[in-house]
Amino acid sequence: MVLKLHGAQEATCTKRVLTVLEELSVPYELVAVDYAHHEHKSPAFRAVQPFGQFPYLADDDGFTLYESRAIARYLALKYGGIGTLIPDPTDLQKTALFEQAASVEQSNFDVFAVPLAYENIRKPRIGQQTDKAAVERLTATLEAKLAVYDIILGRSKYLAGDELTLADLFHLPYGSALAKQKIDFLESPKYPNVARWWKDISGRASWKKANGA
């Protein structure tokens, strides 16, 4: 029996977990959620994921877990990611730096990249008008944040030091979405350290497979 990931191949948070599964070479089954017919809002789905969001993980021992970053941490801890995707928990300094980098992703990247994707991608798909003022504000704020990233990445190869961690991989789904919006901060020569880092992580075979490339 293999673990099952309940989600959608094209969904950003599902891709985040798929990338980690591919990095770890863990056998899995992707159970497609019929979100067009609101399967994720059904009582059966909410019994596992009370917020009615996806993905959620059903491990081969019956354990279930939701929230993509929590799933990623769990997978790394259980399936051989200690020392490669997540520091050894006994190394307090490396663990602290990892958690710092993971917090940076959520507080200084995701919080701006997600609403940008909603305005530029999601709204047109559902027939709503993009709020151009919000897009301008979010774009300017995100660029300012990535200018700080460039400083951090000038000091180390990755966000938590010179070794790749989940904190770097967490950026992939919404970082990729920026390119679809013609927002090129991650590849701009204006931020050479960010561009070097983004080329590195977005070129990984795990991400290409998770992203359907």
CATH code: domain of residue 202: 1.20.1050.10
CATH number, residue 69:
3.40.30.10
Partners of residue 57 on adjacent β-strands: 5, 65
131-141 tens-digit pLDDT: 999 999 999 99
Strand ranges for 33-172 from DSSP E: 56-58, 64-66
**CB contact set of 39 (below 8 Å; sequence gap of 6+):** 33, 45
Q: Hey, which residues does 115 pair with through a beta bridge?
A: none
Residues 97 and 75 in one domain: no
Tokens linked to 96: 């602290």
Q: Examine residue 55 and state whether it is found in any structural domain, yes or no.
A: yes
> Do 106 and 165 lie in a common domain?
yes
Reference 101, options 156, 61, 63; nearest CA is 156
Asked if the structure places residue 85 within a domain, the reply is no
Are residues 72 and 39 part of one domain?
yes
Question: At residue 101, what are phi and psi to the nearest 5 degrees?
Answer: -65, -40
Tokens of 95: 């663990």
Where among 32, 54, 80 does a domain terminate? 80
3-state helix, strand, coil in the chain (%, to 5): 55, 10, 35
pTM: 0.95
In the chain, which stretches have pLDDT less than 50? none
Domain region containing 22 = 3-80
Q: Provide the number of structural domains found in the chain.
A: 2
- Domain check: are 13 and 101 in the same one? no
Nearest to 14 by CA among 1, 25, 24, 29: 29
Please give the pLDDT value at position 182. Answer: 85
Predicted pLDDT at 213? 63
